[in-house]
Chain A
Amino acid sequence: KQEVTQIPAALSVPEGENLVLNCSFTDSAIYNLQWFRQDPGKGLTSLLLIQSSQREQTSGRLNASLDKSSGRSTLYIAASQPGDSATYLCAVPYGGATNKLIFGTGTLLAVQP
């Protein structure tokens, strides 16, 4: 059974810091991994999708890495801004031929001005 966990559960940093969010999964047989951002009470915004054949994926100040063999992914946020404050979730498709996502527990990020 696939389990996805994220560490830390919460993180508070001053503006301008570079930071790393961690995502771990127990079954390394994944096709891809998706990172999302969720503002309080709002929807899920897809940030990056990294395929199992890729090691890294970049979008602006965000960089996601994937190490299938160790069951880990990291989301690196450069030069953090207060507007980055949100909950960050990772998710992997799992279970049969469909693409249903199993989500991690999330990291609540607060960037202090």
Chain B
Amino acid sequence: AAGVIQSPRHLIKEKRETATLKCYPIPRHDTVYWYQQGPGQDPQFLISFYEKMQSDKGSIPDRFSAQQFSDYHSELNMSSLELGDSALYFCASTRGIAYNEQFFGPGTRLTVL
């Protein structure tokens, strides 16, 4: 069965650079969630989209922005990167806005030097 695809899987950036993370949800899934997992921490919700509109927002820095496109894939843009942004970034998808099971991608490991 098709799973959530994230690219790139690994990304190394310098401080103050920009990074773009991509997420391709499971086919027919219209809802995407982004989570950030710091070293030794549990995942924290960043932002979500339903039917290409932002549906919820968590503790996402103003330096970060995201959107969902017409094909339902989503991109997380991160600017002015800081050392503290080094983390594993997960995308999850589900169908609809109701309380359905979320399926997670393999994550993008971002390292900021």
Contacts and interface: CB of A to CB of B under 8 A. Distances in A.
Interface of A: 31-32, 34, 36, 41-46, 49, 89, 93, 95-106
B62 interface: no
A103 B31 CA distance: 19
A49 B30 CA distance: 20
A34 B102 contact: yes
30 contacts: A34-B101, A43-B104, A43-B106, A44-B104, A46-B103, A46-B104, A49-B101, A89-B42, A89-B43, A93-B99, A96-B56, A97-B55, A98-B50, A98-B55, A98-B97, A99-B97, A99-B98, A99-B100, A99-B102, A100-B33, A100-B48, A100-B56, A100-B58, A101-B33, A101-B43, A101-B92, A101-B102, A102-B45, A103-B43, A105-B42
Given A45-B104, A46-B102, A106-B42, A99 B109 contact: no
Task: Tell me the interface secondary structure of chain B in the complex.
Answer: strand
Sorted nearest first, the 3 A-B pairs with minimum C-beta distance are: A31-B99, A103-B42, A43-B106
A42 B106 contact: yes
A93 B101 CA distance: 10
Interface string B77-104: 0000000000010101010011111111
Interface of B: 31, 33, 35, 42-45, 48, 50, 55-56, 58, 88, 90, 92, 94, 97-107, 109
A41 B89 CA distance: 11
Given A98-B55, A99-B100, A43 B105 contact: yes
B20 to A, nearest CB: 19
A101 B45 contact: yes
Given A34-B102, A36-B104, A43-B104, 9 more contacts: A32-B99, A43-B90, A44-B92, A46-B102, A98-B48, A99-B94, A99-B99, A99-B100, A101-B33
Contacts of A98: 48, 50, 55-56, 97
A42 B45 CA distance: 17
Nearest to B106: A43
A44 B90 contact: yes
Contacts of A100: 33, 45, 48, 56, 58
